[in-house]
Homo-oligomer: A and B are copies of this chain.
Amino acid sequence: MREFSVTILGSSAALPYKNRNLTAQLVIHAGRSFLIDCGEGTQMQLTRLKLKGMRISHIFISHLHGDHFYGLIGLISTFHLLGRKDDLHIYGPPALENIIQMQLEASLTTLVYKMVFHPTQSDFPETIYEDDGLTITTLPMIHRVPTTGFLFAEKQYPRHINMEAAENLNVPYTCFGDLKLGLDYTAPDGTITSNRELTIEPAHPRSYACCSDTLFHEPLADIIKGCDLMYHEATFMNAMAEVAVAKMHSTAAEAARIAEKAGVGKLIIGHFSARYENLLPLLEEAREVFQESYLAEEGKVFQV
């Protein structure tokens, strides 16, 4: 099965806290590397965790609060200094483009690689990336500034050929393409063999939903229904639910309620307020609602 993993680079809300860095996640799918958010110090985290930062081809910025993007200009700049050759695609709110350009201009820098900026909107879900095996769709969040989450969804895999059955019926290789798509096989003599007899069910297409900063918003559960792995911010505990509403953030229990309602496989909670030195109470609060809850901890790798 293709690799599909999420590595936590940072889990701290608003400001760095002791060993907790600012928000960033590395998503790897089938050899391709994607970065979600890029708080200050993200490039150092990539180095510290011995991850291949230069392989990142697409960076997705959820919103323009500093803890989610102040490390971006440094990463762009480091790629330049290291002589990057591959294009770099950056997705984020429109104002981000000018923020990057102004800083490059101030240092008279003309990047040695091509950077392509793709503005995002947060009004409705939109597929912003597609390759042969994956789509990435924005998820509108409810926050103090325009904010999106990101849904990484594998495409339906083609059906696998049942080689033994195919050889028994002398099915020519040239028909394998149609079989993989689910079509039946018609032999030269007109005999029809159903696809089910000649192919095997492919792996279930997996999905990862990254729900960045957001107010608790139940309809989100419908959009990400049944996804295998979900990250949902959990800045506060329920005892501070009112503060969470005022700041348009969520609590650990609320994150778990979304996970439970959406029937996800696993939940990662993160974006912890610096008031929580010990994160176990947040984990316990989430697990009371949704057992398969885990903490976003620096360096932790989650398989989707």
Interface residues, chain A, CB within 8 Å of chain B? 14-16, 18, 40-41, 43-44, 47, 64-67, 70-71, 73-74, 77-78, 81-82, 93, 95-96, 98-99, 102-103, 105-108, 144-145
Contacts and interface: CB of A to CB of B under 8 A. Distances in A.
A-B pairs, top 9 by smallest CB distance, nearest first, are A64-B106, A40-B74, A66-B77, A15-B78, A95-B106, A70-B74, A65-B107, A41-B41, A14-B81
Given A40-B71, A41-B44, A66-B77, 7 more contacts: A14-B81, A15-B81, A67-B77, A70-B70, A70-B73, A98-B102, A106-B145
Contact of A106 (B96, B107, B108): B96
A168 B73 CA distance: 68
Contacts of A93: 106
A108 to B, nearest CB: 6
Nearest to A96: B106
A70 B81 CA distance: 15
Given A66-B107, A99-B102, A16 B40 contact: no
Given A93-B106, A102-B95, A43 B66 contact: no
A107 to B, nearest CB: 5
A16 B66 contact: no
A107 B106 CA distance: 21
A103 B15 contact: no
Contacts of A103: 64, 66, 70, 99
Contacts of A145: 106-108
Q: Which of A71, A82, A106 has the most CB of B within 10 A?
A: A106
A71 B145 CA distance: 22
A142 to B, nearest CB: 15
Contact of A15 (B65, B82, B102, B105): B82
9 contacts: A15-B43, A15-B81, A15-B82, A40-B40, A40-B74, A64-B106, A64-B107, A66-B77, A66-B103
Contacts of A44: 16, 40-41
A99 B98 CA distance: 10
Q: Which of A66, A98, A144 has the most CB of B within 10 A?
A: A66
A65 B145 CA distance: 29
Contacts of A105: 95
Contacts of A66: 73-74, 77, 103, 107
Contacts of A43: 15-16, 40
A106 B99 contact: yes
